[in-house]
Structure 1
Amino acid sequence: MTQYARAMRPEDLTRLFVERSNAGDAAGVAALYAQDAVLAYPPGGRTVGREAIRALWEKVLANRPHFEPEEPLPTLVNGDVALTSTAPRDGAGARAQVARRQPDGSWLRVLDQPEFVAPPAPADPRTP
């Protein structure tokens, strides 16, 4: 079994995700998730559990996509739970993840919303 570097800060998860995805390492990406993690992907669906997440990323990474690091938004931490997020370069919505501190002090993702597009603002009824 491959030993992977652990995320010792919640913010490390995004960097490690980009590095492992660009290396085509689906098992390495899945290792960033808790055994019972929930990933809101594919769009409109959910992928539940580390093994299912690994299988999904094997398919995604087969096309050799390239990921660019995104500027992180401030991390919110409350005890052993953290909310991390980034604003995509295209400005469309946001990405958000909830991580949980593990007994060894490392962090794993438990919830991942990789693509969230805010609904359009309602039209101003005063505008003709």
Structure 2
Amino acid sequence: MSTLLDFSAGVATGAGGNTLSGGQIVDAVTSGTPILTKLNPGASCNLAFASYGNIGYRILPDQDCALSVSGGNVGELQTMRVFTQQPYGGNCEITWPDNVIWPEGAAFVDSRIGAICCVEIMWDGASRYYGRLIFG
């Protein structure tokens, strides 16, 4: 006979002071990186790091868009994946935030119809963001 533990009524407090219910702990451990879609975000779009763990964004622009990055938990190494896809008409210029350090230069975003670009932005847990091209 197998016994399962039921954490749904319990809570845990982490070293950073964040409290999660048992259900949230199970979801955080068993789920993949959540992805949020920003459809036609306008001329500017803020991408915030998750309150804990990693996050992903799918950007589907309909015009030139300047991205900004914010957040990140002190003492926690976090990553953000940003996936952009050009619309049917293409020609949407994506501008990366100035507060991201790109050791190999800022990622180029192709503006041709349907072009895809994926980057990873890392929060170092202290005060800086670093970016790198994954594909595109």
TM-score (normalizing by structure 1): 0.27
Instruction: Point out the structure with the larger helix share.
Output: 1
Structure ranking higher on relative contact order (CA contacts 8 Å, 6+ apart):
1
TM-score (normalizing by structure 2): 0.26
Instruction: Point out the structure with the larger strand share.
Output: 2
- Structure possessing the higher radius of gyration over alpha carbons: 2
